[in-house]
Amino acid sequence: MKRATAGKLIVVSALGFTLAGGLAAQQPAATAAQPNAPAQSNAPAQPNAPIAGKVTLGVAVAEEAVIATGWRASKLLHAAVYNDQSQKIGSIDDFVVSPDGTLSVAIVDVGGFLGLGAHKVAIPVKQFGQIAPKVVLKGATKEALKALPEFKYVA
């Protein structure tokens, strides 16, 4: 599997988990039956009543509006990273999604040529000043990034 495709799968999977978690959190929790509770009526079920073990798949219209205003990871992978003086200081190599489903870290490739001699560093996403029309890491220089500890992939 190509590296870019694997990255897309991770981000898409994380988005799915985030949406599923958000939808599950909106559903009321089931309560234990009480001994003196009245018998259930034969009234038709509510149209949007939660069903145990079921999670709505897909994106709701309201969520789609939020997604439409964001940026696709596939467009950001391998994008050039600039500082606030418009100097190219690296490129986005990958993203790390935290266990809670949020995008936490961008792996920036500094230096090197065709993957040889590259120095990868982990930069918290919050530190980027802008993502579009170009990726900007304010106050950074190529030398400062190379001085950071090198990021190594574990698996």
For the chain, the domains span 3-68, 73-147
Give the pLDDT mean for 1-24: 42
CB–CB of 106/125 below 8 Å? yes
Predicted local distance difference test score (pLDDT) of residue 45: 56
Beta pairing class for 135-136 and 80-82: parallel
- Tell me the two tokens of residue 2: 């190509």
Predicted local distance difference test score (pLDDT) of residue 70: 73
Q: Average model confidence (pLDDT) for the chain?
A: 72
pLDDT tens digits for range 96-106:
999 998 889 99
Q: Decide: residue 126, CB within 10 A, 0-12 exposed, 13-18 middle, 19+ buried.
A: exposed
Within a 13 Å sphere around the CA of 33, how many CA atoms are in the beta-carbon half?
4
One of 2.60.120.10, 3.40.50.300, 2.30.30.240, 3.30.2310.20 is the CATH number of 73-147, namely: 2.30.30.240
Q: Which segments within the chain are labelled E, that is strand?
A: 80-82, 88-97, 103-110, 119-124, 135-136
- Tell me the two tokens of residue 54: 């079921």
Amino acid at 130: Q
pTM of structure: 0.57
Give the pLDDT mean for 22-40: 46
Q: What is the dihedral of CA 132, 137, 119, 92, to 10 degrees?
A: -10
pLDDT tens digits for range 118-145:
899 999 999 999 888 899 999 999 999 9
pLDDT tens digits for range 42-97:
655 556 655 565 656 666 666 666 556 677 788 899 999 999 999 999 999 999 99
